[in-house]
Amino acid sequence: MRTFHIVCAGTVLLSAGCVTAPEKQDAPQACTPASTTIAASPATTAAAPWGFSPSLRGSLAPALPADVAVSSAPTPTTALPKPERRSLFLPDPDAYDIVSAGRGLSLHKPMFLMPYTYSPTYEGRQAEVVFQLSFKQRLFGIPLYAAYSQKSFWQAYNSHESSPFRETDYNPELFYRYIPADRARWYHLGADVGFEHESNGRGLPDSRSWNRFYAAIFQAEDNHLLYWKWWYRLPENDSLPPTDPQRDDNPHIGTYYGYSELTYEQQLWGKQLARAMVRFNPVTGKGAVNLQYTIPNRASDPDFFWFLYLWQGYGEDLLNYNHSTTRVGVGVSLAR
């Protein structure tokens, strides 16, 4: 009887220690007197009660005492609610989602702050602070999202001109995100369809804005993301006088942006993440490349990520969409 009590106590402790994991929500098995038979599970291929795979269950589960019989007849069990499905594509709960389909307010594009960047494009004011904010809100209980992103270029070190914000681009959008329930069957593919507006909120002659519909297909599997986005710009009248607010603010922007962009993300060892974005117009030969690399401030339970940034090409900001820019920067990333 003492032997059984020891085994019973060990079983309860092991069960209590395992139910703290996010996906381990099976109730611990109750202990029974030594004279009572213990039923074996009829489905030996199902997940083990502590989350062990069937192949490991025999070696990791506690052994039963010799005086306890095992019955082959199943005992009635109370149906337990299924654990809530997690929307993470990454198995690491401490890492940010590669593609988020969460409820309520959630992250959208990378959010970062670079206290120092350098670009030789802007003579006399090459050093800037650059930061980006981005989030989205799920609507009506379906994967329809209202999103907002903002990227700012701050001349914080240009005291001769009172440290102005050189440019801020505002990017609201509305999109639908489709992710199949059986992702493995569909090769972990998904799609976005939406509409977005982008402008810098300035008056003439520095006003820049455009509207576009877009569609994107992506594959998010294990620790990588491949995201290919295509768009159609709503046409505007570029024949009006430059002083007319209804005139096209940035004519021929497709010449420099192209009509699609390809993004690839790969999570590496130690929760490091590499991200590359490429835009290219094969007709004009113009485009852009953006490389980002993030490193957690500590391997376990990171608070933020060190951030490295490189841009080469057109369209880093709307104001100078038709000028090629080279920029390098360092900082921190809060969401990636």
- DSSP label at residue 249: S
pLDDT of residue 314: 95
Please tell me the distance from the alpha carbon of residue 310 to that of residue 329, in angstroms, as a whole number.
Answer: 7
The single residue of 197, 209, 260, 324 carrying the catalytic annotation is 197
Please tell me the distance from the alpha carbon of residue 179 to that of residue 220, in angstroms, as a whole number.
Answer: 10
Q: Is 119 a catalytic residue?
A: no
Please tell me the distance from the alpha carbon of residue 310 to that of residue 300, in angstroms, as a whole number.
Answer: 27
Reply yes or no on whether the pLDDT at 47 is more than 60.
no
Helix and strand numbers, DSSP H then E, in the chain: 3, 15
**Own/partner long-range contacts of 49-52 (Cβ < 8 Å, ≥24 apart):** 49/15, 50/14, 50/15, 50/18, 50/24, 50/26, 51/18, 51/21, 51/23, 51/24
User: Mean pLDDT, to the nearest integer, of 171-191?
Assistant: 89
Q: Three-state SS for 254?
A: helix
DSSP-derived pairing of the beta strands 286-296 and 273-281: antiparallel
Q: Which amino acid is at 197?
A: H
Average model confidence (pLDDT) across the chain: 74
Q: Is 199 a catalytic residue?
A: yes
pTM higher than the cut 0.75: no
Give 182's pLDDT tier (boundaries 50, 70, 90): confident
Q: Which of 51-60, 146-155, 291-300 has the lowest mean pLDDT?
A: 51-60
User: Mean pLDDT, to the nearest integer, of 40-49?
Assistant: 34
Q: What is the per-residue pLDDT across 126-169, written as a single tens digit (0 to 9) for each? A: 899 999 999 999 999 899 999 999 999 998 888 888 888 989 99
The single residue of 100, 119, 152, 199 carrying the catalytic annotation is 199
Give 242's pLDDT tier (boundaries 50, 70, 90): low
Give 6's pLDDT tier (boundaries 50, 70, 90): very low
Cα 41 to Cα 4, 76, 293, distances in angstroms: 20, 11, 48
Give 38's pLDDT tier (boundaries 50, 70, 90): very low
Q: What is the per-residue pLDDT across 108-118, written as a single tens digit (0 to 9) for each? A: 899 999 999 99
pLDDT of residue 66: 45
Reply yes or no on whether the pLDDT at 22 is more than 50.
no
pLDDT of residue 148: 96
Q: Which of 35-49, 72-86, 94-108, 322-336 has the lowest mean pLDDT?
A: 35-49
- DSSP label at residue 110: -
| Structural tokens at position 110 | 């990378």
Q: What is the per-residue pLDDT across 199-228, written as a single tens digit (0 to 9) for each? A: 998 877 888 899 999 999 998 877 888 999
Give 195's pLDDT tier (boundaries 50, 70, 90): very high
Best mean pLDDT range from 45-54, 99-108, 182-191, 301-310? 301-310
Delineate the domains of the chain, giving CATH numbers in brackets. Answer: 2-71 (no CATH), 105-235+246-335 (2.40.230.10)
Q: Cβ of 158: how many Cβ atoms within 10 Å?
A: 17
